[in-house]
Amino acid sequence: MFVLLVLTLVACSSGDPQVEYEVPDEVVADNGYDSIDETPIDDTPIDPLERQSEEITHVVIHFISNVIANRENPYIIEDILRIFQDYGVNAHYLIDRDGTIHSVVPENRVAFHAGPGSLVDFPEYESLNRHSIGIELLGIGTQEEMSQFLTAAEYNALDPSLIGFTDAQYEALNWLLNEILARHPTIKPSRTHIIGHSEWAPDKPDPGELFEWERLDFMNNPTS
């Protein structure tokens, strides 16, 4: 059974509940994300997950939806997790439209979210998965970004509220990034270290033109 733990609690994989950082006994956050929700479904995306052995230096931000199969309700969390299962991919965290943060893969395990690519500032990285934490936002990009999945007519028929990202997601993402940065000082609060999937793999559209980087806290005090 695959169990999602919300917030800073880490999902236990392959019967191994140990993590490499301490989880507080009580989560206290000024954004109100202070409860635990568990959503079980059958099977895990990749089991067992490889233990992370390289230095973590990056956060990679993505978007995902089930809009191909369900244009009316593309954000059912169980459907997203089954996409992970079907395609053999995953991420450390999912952020729902209402700002719920789902912990999918422990940070001390390799999540398969980045695929092949390269970074100019880190040419030695052959696999970003081994050096990063992956965060998936439930969202839909621009018509151009979604053109490989939807026709123009299908895209234009979508409920506009399904497109882009929500205020609650930005609030949750900021909270989560601050937590991650506190746990991993090797991830610098800069656009060199907190990147979009498209910066590693230019053929990928996410998080796309609709993602507002300027709404992230670290952008107000960037470092190199």
CA distances from 136 to 15, 25, 77, 133, 171 (A): 24, 26, 12, 10, 14
Please check whether residue 40 lies inside any domain of the structure. no
> Terminal CA-to-CA distance of the chain, rounded, Å?
42
Q: Is residue 161 part of a domain?
A: yes
Give the pLDDT confidence of 17-33 residue by residue, as tens digits.
222 223 333 322 233 33
In a domain, residue 20? The reply is: no
In a domain, 215, yes or no: yes
List beta partners, residue 138. Answer: 64
Number of residues in the chain:
224
pLDDT of 49:
67
∠ CA(144), CA(74), CA(108), 5° rounding? 95
Mind listing the pLDDT tens digit for each residue in 204-217?
Answer: 999 999 999 999 99
Identify which of 190, 182, 180, 196 has the alpha carbon closest to the alpha carbon of residue 224: 190
What local confidence, expressed as pLDDT, does residue 118 receive? 94
Asked whether residue 24 is assigned to any structural domain, the reply reads no
Instruction: Give the pLDDT band of residue 222 (cuts 50, 70, 90).
Output: low
d(CA 134, CA 111): 7
Number of folded domains in the chain? Answer: 1
Residue 147 within a domain: yes
**What is the mean pLDDT of the segment spanning 83-88?**
91
Cis status of the peptide bond prior to 205, with omega within 30 of 0: no
pTM, entire model: 0.80
> What range does the domain containing 190 cover?
51-220
pLDDT digits (tens, 9 = 90+) for 118-174: 999 999 999 999 999 999 999 999 999 999 999 999 999 999 999 999 999 999 999
| Residue 112 within a domain | yes
CATH code at position 194: 3.40.80.10
Instruction: Answer yes or no: is 17 within a domain.
Output: no
Per-residue confidence (pLDDT) for residue 223, from 0 to 100: 57
